[in-house]
Structures are given as C-alpha cells and as structure tokens.
Amino acid sequence: MLSSPVQFLRSMWIIIRFEFSRVFLSARGWMYLFTFGLTWYFVLNYLVLNITPLMAQDAGWPVPELTSYWRVALYLFPGLCLMITANQTCSDRSRGTLRFLVLRADRDSIFFGRFIFQMLIQMMLIVATAATALIAAVMQDGALMGVGLGSAAIIVTNLFIVLIPITAMMSLLSLTVNSTRQVMVLAMLIWVLASAVIQGVSYYFPFFEVFDLIIPGRQLSELSGLPQAETLSLAYVPLLQGLALLFAGRLLMQRASL
C-alpha cells in the first residue's frame, strides 16, 4: 500500500498522462491541434506581423515582433483558455465517469491533475506560438536571437501566470454545471456581471474598486501598458487569484455529489 502523498502524486501523474493521450493519441486531438496551428498561422501573418512596425518605437520592448505577439497573446490566450479549459470535470461528472475514477483516485488528484494538464497544454501552445514570433524576428535580424530568447522567456512566463487564475476559475465552474457550454456562459457572466457590479458600487464607494482585482484577468489592461522589465511586477495578482480559486475549487470538489 502506497503512502497517501505518494499515491496522490502517482494518481495525478497517471491522470495527466491519460489527458495528454486525449490530445496526442486521438484523431480528434490532432484535428484540434491542426486547427489551432492553422488559425495561429493567420493570426501571426495577418495580425501580429502586421502591427509589428507600430511596435518598433516601444522603448520598453527590445524585439518588435515579440512586442506585437505580447499585445495579441495577452488577450488571445485568456479567451482561448475559456474555450479549451471549460470541460475539466463537467462532462465526466454528468456522464457518471467520475464515479469510476473516484474509486481509484482521490478527488484532489483528479481536480489538480486535470488543472495541471490544462496548464501544461496551454504552456505548450504559448511556447509554440512565442517560438513562431521569435523565429519571425530572427528571420528579420539574426542578431536579435539572444535578446529575443530572453524577451520570449519573460512573455511566456507572464502569459502562463495570467492563465493560472482563469484556468482555476474554469476548474471551479466546471464542478458547478453539467456542460462545457454552461461553464463558458457562466464564466462570461461572472466576468461581465462582477465587473459591472464592482464598477457600479465603486462609483459611490471608491474604495470598492480594490475588489476589481478579484476578477481573473482584470489586471490585463494595466499589464499590457507596462514595459517588459516590469511585467512580472503584477504577477502577484494572478498568483493570489489562482491560489484562492484553486482552494475554493478543491473545497467544492471534496463536497461535490458525484
């Protein structure tokens, strides 16, 4: 009999691997990746590289192609995150598949295993897309390789951190409703309603504006205006949001009826 922490980690690893096989060992998974790759090709060519000349003057960012990538990806990935991470547990729960799983793996390893898988797959997409922008930059000027690698690393780290609370929010919402679509609708509603409520109340009570920071992604507009060197200064916001949402999601998972 394995000890609990070892069993937890082992189960989580098996769950993460199984989820990866959903993407890389199925025709549907490859179709999604192909579609994403094709879409990204157009976004890179007709959006990112098109606005690159406008970024050349940005003193805070050394590689224009990566600057335009950063501005696009900062909004693209959170939107994409809503779509690809919505179905973490909802389908399995409504179908009853989780009942097979919880007899063999504790609820924590299922919840965190699915969350970590979503973060890893998004990390892969971020790295792959950032690499294409870096390649585009190096093709223009080979000397940008060194500085571009550093810049890309900061961008990738930032994007990864930005997606933590959004993915965690989807982990939590996925436990509350029965379909992917409902999760996405609920996430949009929370974003819109919570923003509206906070803005409305802040009008009368300005101190209430601080609650704006509890909404995942609310720091994005501020973040997009920062020079590269300062982007990580706001990382505490998504990290704290992520922690709080994962804590709430874990609690909900523990108490959920399956």
Partner 1 sequence: MSTIIRCENLSKRYGSNLALDNVSFELQSGAPIALVGPNGAGKTTLFSVLCGYLHPSSGSVSLLGHKPGSSKLFGQVSALPQDAQLDPSFAVHKQLSFYARLQGYGGKAANIEASRALELMQLTETEKSLPGSLSHGMLKRVAIAQALIGKPKLVFLDEPTAGLDPANARNIRQQISSLSDTTTFVISSHNLQELERLCETVLLLEHGKLQQQTQVKVNTKTEWDFLTVLMNDSQTNDVQATLQSLACVESIASKNKNEYIIKYNQQKAPDLDQQLLKILSEKGWSYRQLTRGKSLEDQLFSS
Shortest Å, Cβ 210 to partner 1: 36
Q: What is the identity of the amino acid at 47?
A: L
Sequence-separated (6 or more) residues with CB below 8 Å from residue 111: 89, 171, 249, 250, 253
114 in contact with partner 1 (CB under 8 A): no
Please, which residue, 24 or 236, has the CB nearer to partner 1?
24
178 in contact with partner 1 (CB under 8 A): no
**Cα angle 92-96-98, degrees, rounded to a multiple of 5:** 60
258 in contact with partner 1 (CB under 8 A): yes
Identify whether the C-beta of residue 134 lies closer than 8 Å to the C-beta of residue 45: no
| Of 74, 78, 59, 67, the residue nearest 133 (C-alpha) | 67
Please, which residue, 106 or 212, has the CB nearer to partner 1?
106
Please, which residue, 74 or 101, has the CB nearer to partner 1?
101
Q: Helix count (H) and strand count (E) of the chain?
A: 11, 0
Here's the x/- map for partner 1, 16-45, by CB under 8 A: it reads as: --x--xx---x-x-----------------
Residues 136-155 contacting partner 1, CB under 8 A: none
Identify whether the C-beta of residue 60 lies closer than 8 Å to the C-beta of residue 154: no
- In three-state secondary structure terms, 141 is coil
Residue 80, number of CB atoms within 10 A of its CB: 18
Identify whether the C-beta of residue 249 lies closer than 8 Å to the C-beta of residue 171: yes
Among 37, 50, 54, 104, binds partner 1 (CB under 8 A): 104
CA 139 to chain centre: 29
Q: Which stretch binds partner 1 (CB under 8 A): 58-66, 94-102, 136-144, 224-232?
A: 94-102
| Number of residues counted as binding partner 1 (CB under 8 A) | 29
Among 71, 89, 107, 249, binds partner 1 (CB under 8 A): 107
181 in contact with partner 1 (CB under 8 A): no
Interface residues with partner 1 (CB under 8 A) are: 1-2, 4, 7-8, 11, 14-15, 18, 21-22, 26, 28, 92, 95-97, 99-107, 255, 257-258
